[in-house]
């Protein structure tokens, strides 16, 4: 069965420091992979997505992620964190259903705290 | 372009009652998906509607149901509420064609069951 694992429940970094959030997935075929961010009281906003091609994808707000098939990973990175990046981050995999449509499986999230 | 809207934003009910949540998708989007978000279980897929038909369904009991109207607006209903139904219910809309379409999420409805 498809699954997504985010091993870090909480991460704390200082403002200006680099950031890497881990995501591992289990999926038989080539996955569609996503990172979303959720600020308190808000819905989810898509940061970036991977379908195929270049394994390093750029997203909004200065985020990037690298797809590594051999490690079944899709880690999110940012070279310099801003205080406004404090939020919860979700990794997701899109899997095709038998009807040909897609359903999305989300990881349990990583809550990011940024120290001034 | 207006985003996905959900009403109400907050709701308090008691056990045994039923509740109806509403979602208006982005104009032109024909697919609406519902998710339940709780601290313990994370984000779990409830169901997806496309052109007034349920196209995909998650692993939730029959107390959870939904429907979609001809204007693509969707409602979900939970009957015989249990304490464990307390959660943030998120709605997401997409164009819904048979290829990946980005999902756009609403702000959610926070349901508290007492």
Asked if B74 has any chain A CB less than 8 Å from its own CB, the reply is no
Could you report the per-residue pLDDT of B61-70, keeping only the tens digit for each?
999 999 999 9
Average pLDDT of A34-59? 91
Tokens of A30: 């080539």
Cβ distance of B90 and A43 shorter than 8 Å: yes
Residue A52 scores a pLDDT above 90: no
Cβ distance of B45 and A44 shorter than 8 Å: no
Please give the residue of chain B at the shortest CA–CA distance from A48.
Answer: B102
Q: How far A95 CA lies from chain B's nearest CA (Å)?
A: 10
Could you report the per-residue pLDDT of A61-107, keeping only the tens digit for each?
999 999 999 999 999 999 999 999 999 999 999 877 776 667 788 99
Residue B76 scores a pLDDT above 90: yes
pLDDT for res B35: 95
Average pLDDT of B9-14? 97
Q: Is-contact A107 A5, C-beta < 8 A? A: yes
Cβ distance of B55 and A101 shorter than 8 Å: yes
Average pLDDT of A15-35? 90
Could you report the per-residue pLDDT of A99-112, keeping only the tens digit for each?
666 778 899 999 99
Share of chain A above pLDDT 70, in %: 97
Average pLDDT for chain B: 92
Burial of A94 (0-12, 13-18, 19+ CB in 10 A): buried
Whole-number Å distance between alpha carbons of A72 and B40: 24
Residue B36 scores a pLDDT above 80: yes
Which three-class secondary structure string do you get for chain A? CCEEECCCCEEEEECCCCEEECCEEECCCCCEEEEEEECCCCCEEEEEEECCCCCEEECHHHCEEEEEHHHCEEEEEECCCCHHHCEEEEEEEEEECCCCCEEEEECCCEEEEEEC
Closest by alpha carbon to B92, among A106, A29, A23?
A106
Greater model confidence, B99 or A62: A62
Asked if B60 has any chain A CB less than 8 Å from its own CB, the reply is no
Which three-class secondary structure string do you get for chain B? CCCCEEECCEEEECCCCCEEEEEECCCCCCEEEEEEEECCCEEEEEEEEECCEEEEECCCCCCEEEEECCCCCEEEEECCCCHHHCEEEEEEEECCCCCCCCCEECCCEEEEEC
Residues whose CB falls within 8 Å of the CB of residue B9, separated by 6 or more in sequence, listed in order: B107, B108, B109, B110
Residues whose CB falls within 8 Å of the CB of residue A71, separated by 6 or more in sequence, listed in order: A24
pLDDT for res B99: 60
Q: How far B102 CA lies from chain A's nearest CA (Å)?
A: 8
């Amino acid at each position: 069965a498809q699954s997504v694992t985010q091993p870090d429940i909480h991460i704390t970094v200082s403002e200006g420091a680099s950031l890497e959030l881990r995501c591992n997935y289990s999926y038989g075929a080539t996955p569609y992979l996503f990172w979303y961010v959720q600020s308190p009281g808000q819905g989810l906003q898509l940061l970036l997505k991977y379908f195929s091609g270049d394994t390093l994808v750029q997203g909004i707000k200065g985020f990037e992620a690298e797809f590594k098939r051999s490690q079944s990973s899709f880690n999110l990175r940012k070279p310099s964190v801003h205080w406004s990046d404090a939020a919860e981050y979700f990794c997701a995999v899109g899997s095709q259903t038998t009807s040909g449509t897609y359903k999305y499986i989300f990881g349990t999230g990583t809550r990011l705290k940024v120290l001034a | 372009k207006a985003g996905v809207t959900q009403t109400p934003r907050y709701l308090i009910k008691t056990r045994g009652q039923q509740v109806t949540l509403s979602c208006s998708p982005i104009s032109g989007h024909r697919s609406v998906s519902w998710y339940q978000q709780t601290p313990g279980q994370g984000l779990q897929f409830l169901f997806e509607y496309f052109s007034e038909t349920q196209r995909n369904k998650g692993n939730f009991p029959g107390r959870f149901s939904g429907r979609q109207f001809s204007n693509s607006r969707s409602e979900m209903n939970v009957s015989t509420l249990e304490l464990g139904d307390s959660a943030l219910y998120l709605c997401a809309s997409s164009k819904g064609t048979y290829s990946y379409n980005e999902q756009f999420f609403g702000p959610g409805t926070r349901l508290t069951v007492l």
